Amino acid sequence: MNDLKEKILSENGNDLEKIESELSENLKPYLDLVSDVAHHILFAGGKRLRPLLLVLSAKLCGYKDDYAKTVSTALEYLHAATLLHDDIIDDAVLRRGKTVAHSVYGNAITVLVGDFLLARALAICADSGKIKVIHIISDLTENMSTGEVHQLMRKGDVSLTEDEYLEVIRRKTAVLFQAACTISAVIADAPEEKEAVLSDFGYHLGIAFQMADDLLDYTMDTEALGKEVGADLREGKLTLPVIHALKQADSADYDQMVKIIENEDFTVDEFKTLVGLLEKNDGIAYTQKTAAFHIDKAKNVLSVFEPSKTKDTLFDIADYTLARRI
Amino acid sequence: MNDLKEKILSENGNDLEKIESELSENLKPYLDLVSDVAHHILFAGGKRLRPLLLVLSAKLCGYKDDYAKTVSTALEYLHAATLLHDDIIDDAVLRRGKTVAHSVYGNAITVLVGDFLLARALAICADSGKIKVIHIISDLTENMSTGEVHQLMRKGDVSLTEDEYLEVIRRKTAVLFQAACTISAVIADAPEEKEAVLSDFGYHLGIAFQMADDLLDYTMDTEALGKEVGADLREGKLTLPVIHALKQADSADYDQMVKIIENEDFTVDEFKTLVGLLEKNDGIAYTQKTAAFHIDKAKNVLSVFEPSKTKDTLFDIADYTLARRI
Residues paired with residue A98 on neighbouring β-strands, in sequence order: A95
Could you give the CA distance from residue A73 to residue A21 in angstroms, rounded to a whole number?
Answer: 10
Give A203 to chain B, closest Cα distance, Å: 20
Residue in chain B nearest A113 by alpha carbon: B145
Task: Select from B307, B22, B48, B304 the least CA-distant residue to B190.
Answer: B304
How many whole angstroms separate alpha carbon A225 and alpha carbon A227? 5
Q: Which residues of B111-146 are buried (b: 16+ CB within 10 A; e: fewer)?
A: bbbbbbbbbbbbbbbbbbebbebbebbbbbbbbbbb
Residues B127, B128, B129, CA angle at the centre, nearest 5°? 85
Give the separation between CA B313 and CA A242, rounded to whole angstroms: 61
Q: Do A126 and B135 touch (CB under 8 A)?
A: yes
Max CA pair span of chain A: 60
Amino acid letter, A16: L
From CA A116, how far away is CA A110, in angstroms rounded?
10
Residues of chain A in contact with residue B112, where contact means CB-CB under 8 angstroms, are 85, 89, 145-146, 148-149, 152
pLDDT for residue A285: 96
| Of B29, B111, B119, Cβ closest to residue A138 | B119
Residue A211 CA to residue A215 CA, distance in Å, equals 6
Whether the complex's predicted ipTM surpasses the cut of 0.95: no
- The DSSP string of B180-194 is HHHHHHHHTT--HHH
What tens-digit pLDDT sequence spans chain A (326 residues)? 578 888 998 999 999 999 999 999 999 888 888 999 899 888 877 789 999 999 999 999 999 999 999 999 999 999 999 998 987 766 655 565 666 676 778 888 899 999 999 999 999 999 999 999 999 999 999 999 999 999 889 999 999 999 999 999 999 999 999 999 999 999 999 999 999 999 999 999 999 999 999 999 998 775 565 666 788 888 889 999 999 999 999 999 999 999 999 998 889 899 999 999 999 999 999 999 999 999 999 999 999 999 999 999 999 999 999 887 65
Rama region for B206: left / alpha / beta (φ>0; ψ in -120 to 50; rest): alpha
Cα A212 from Cα A206, distance rounded (Å): 10
Q: Could you report the per-residue pLDDT of A67-122, keeping only the tens digit for each?
A: 999 999 999 999 999 998 987 766 655 565 666 676 778 888 899 999 999 999 99
Q: How far apart are CA A285 and CA A290, in angstroms?
A: 9
Nearest to B88 among A107, A142, A148 (CB): A107
Calculate the alpha carbon distances from B214 to A172, B128, B151, B237 in Å.
39, 34, 14, 10
Q: Which residues of A touch B (CB under 8 A)?
A: 29-31, 33-34, 85, 88-89, 107-109, 111-113, 115-116, 118-120, 122-123, 125-126, 129-131, 134-135, 137-142, 144-146, 148-150, 152-153
Asked if residue B160 lies in contact with residue B154, where contact means CB atoms within 8 angstroms, the answer is yes
Tell me which residue of B142, B135, B298, B138 sits closest to B207, measured CA to CA: B298
Which of A111, A112, A134 lies at the smallest CB-CB distance from B122? A134
Q: How far apart are CA B230 and CA B222, in angstroms?
A: 9
The reported pLDDT for the residue numbered A189 is 97
- B243-266 pLDDT, tens digit per residue, is 999 999 999 999 999 999 999 888
Domains in chain A: how many in total? 1
Integer Cα distance of B283 and A135 in angstroms = 47
Distance CA A254, CA B260 (A): 60
Q: Which residues of B touch A (CB under 8 A)?
A: 29-31, 33-34, 85, 88-89, 107-109, 111-116, 118-120, 122-123, 125-126, 129-131, 134-135, 137-142, 144-146, 148-150, 152-153
Rg (alpha carbons) of chain A, rounded to whole number: 20
Query: Are A100 and A87 in contact, with CB atoms under 8 Å apart?
Result: yes
Rounded Cα gap, residues A43 and A48, in angstroms: 10
Q: How many whole angstroms separate alpha carbon B32 and alpha carbon B29?
A: 7
User: Nearest residue of A to residue B128 by CA position?
Assistant: A131
- Given a contact cutoff of 8 angstroms between Cβ atoms, the answer to whether B148 and B176 are in contact is no
| Closest CA–CA distance from residue A37 to any residue of chain B (Å) | 11
Which amino acid, one-letter code, is at A266? F
pTM of the prediction? 0.92
Strand pairing category for A94-95 and A98-99: antiparallel
Residue from B111, B136, B148, B157 whose CB has the most chain A CBs within 10 Å, to mutate: B111
Q: Which residues contact A247 (CB under 8 A, 6 or more apart)?
A: A162
With beta carbons under 8 A apart, name residues in chain B contacting A31: 146, 149-150, 153
Q: The CATH number of the domain where B236 resides is what? A: 1.10.600.10
Do A178 and A203 meet the contact criterion of CB atoms below 8 Å apart? yes
Please state, in angstroms and as integers, the Cα–Cα distance from residue B269 to each residue in B234, B260, B274, B280, following that order.
14, 10, 9, 16
Contact A116 B34 (CB under 8 A): no
Q: Which residues constitute the domain of residue B252?
A: 2-323
Element spanning A80, H or E:
helix A67-90
pLDDT tens, position by position, B213-240: 999 999 877 556 566 678 889 888 999 9
Amino acid occupying residue B15: D
- Cβ count within 10 A of residue A132: 15
The C-alpha of B312 sits at a distance from chain A's nearest C-alpha, in angstroms, of 35
